[in-house]
Amino acid sequence: MRETAVGGRPVVRYRSPVLDSARWQGFRFRDGDIVISTPPKCGTTWMQMICALLVHGTAEFPCELTSMSPWLDTLYRDRDEVMAALEAQSHRRFIKSHTPMDGLPYDERVTYVCVGRDPRDVSLSIQHHMANIDPAAVARARAASGGEQAAEDVARRVREGAEPGAEGFRRWVENPAPVTQAPASLRYTLHHLRTFWDAQELANVVLLHYDDLKSDLAGSMRGLARRLGIAVDEESFPGLVRAATFEAMRGRAGQLVPEAGMALWRNPRDFFHRGSSGQWKDVLTERELRRYAEVTTECAPPGLAAWLHRTHPLPAEPLPAAPQN
C-alpha cells in the first residue's frame, strides 16, 4: 500500500544536508507508537524526556535518550542501523522527527506529538544552539554517514546559524529557502507548526505549548499521559516531574543531549542553556519586530499566531515604519 500523509494526501518530502523525510518510507509502525515531531528548538529533547519518563515509569534509563528515541529523519546515522534498532525495541516506541505532519506517513494507531513555542524565542535559542555545535565534528559525522559533499554545507550552515543577536534574527526571518528544504527559519518553523495546527482535531494528534510545559509541568505531563493512555502512578509521579525539569535535565546532559556519543557539542550542559520565554525582548528592536510580524502574518493563520504569542502578543496594529535614510 502506498504511504500517505494525514488526510490521505501524498507525503511531502523534506530534505536538507542533515535531514531527509524519505527515510520514513517503509517504516513499520506498531500499535501505540509515538512520533515526536517539532520544529528545531521547540522542546524536542524535553518532550522526548517526558515521553521516556511516562513510558518507562522511572527516571533510571538503560541507555542514552537518543538511543531510546532515535531521530529517524537525520542523515547523521545509517538508516538501516536506526531501523534495526527501532525494530529491536521492546518498550513502547517514541521516535524523534523534525518533519512536518504532512511529510510523515499517517497511521491511526500512532500518536503524533508536537510542541509550539514563540518563534522569537526559537530564533535566539537556535543562535546559542549553533554556537555550541562544533562545525568540524558535525562535518565529520555527516561525511561518515555518506554525505561527503554535504559536510561543508552543514558546517557552513552551523556557522551562519550561530550569528548572534539582531543580525542573526534578521537572517532567520528573511531566509527565503523553500520550507521543503527544511532550514532553520521563521517560515519553516511556522509551516511545521501549521501542519499540526490544521490536524489538531484528530484524536491521535497532540499539540502542546512550550509555555504550558514551563508553567505547569506536572499538569502537562498528566494531560499527555491521558492522551497516550498511560496510567500515572501517584507515588512515583512527583519524581518523574522533577526529572523532567530543566535543571535536572542539565545535570544529566551527557545522557540526554541529541546524538550523544558523536561529540557534536562544545559543552553538553550548554545544550540546556536557558529554556526561558521572552528573552528576545532584550535583543530585538522595533524594526526587527515589525518585520517579524509581517512575515508571521503572511505565513500563519490568525489562530495559530495568537496561540504561539499568547504570553507576548503581536501588536494589534502594525508597528510604525522604520525611518528612511
**Residues marked as catalytic:** 98
Pick from 234, 228, 244: nearest CA to 112? 228
Asked whether 301 and 196 are in contact (CB, 8 A), the reply is no
Asked whether 110 and 34 are in contact (CB, 8 A), the reply is yes
Cell of 26: 517503509
Q: Can you tell me the distance from the alpha carbon of 263 to that of 271, in angstroms, rounded to the nearest whole number?
A: 12
DSSP characters over 95-146: EEE-S-GGGSPP-TTSEEEEEE--HHHHHHHHHHHHHTB-HHHHHHHHHHTT
Which DSSP letter does residue 313 get? P
Asked whether 75 and 114 are in contact (CB, 8 A), the reply is no
Range list of H helices, the chain:
44-56, 65-68, 79-88, 119-131, 135-144, 148-161, 165-174, 186-197, 210-215, 217-228, 237-243, 246-251, 253-256, 286-299, 302-308
Length of the chain: 325
**Which amino acid, residue 242?**
R
Cell of 46: 524535553
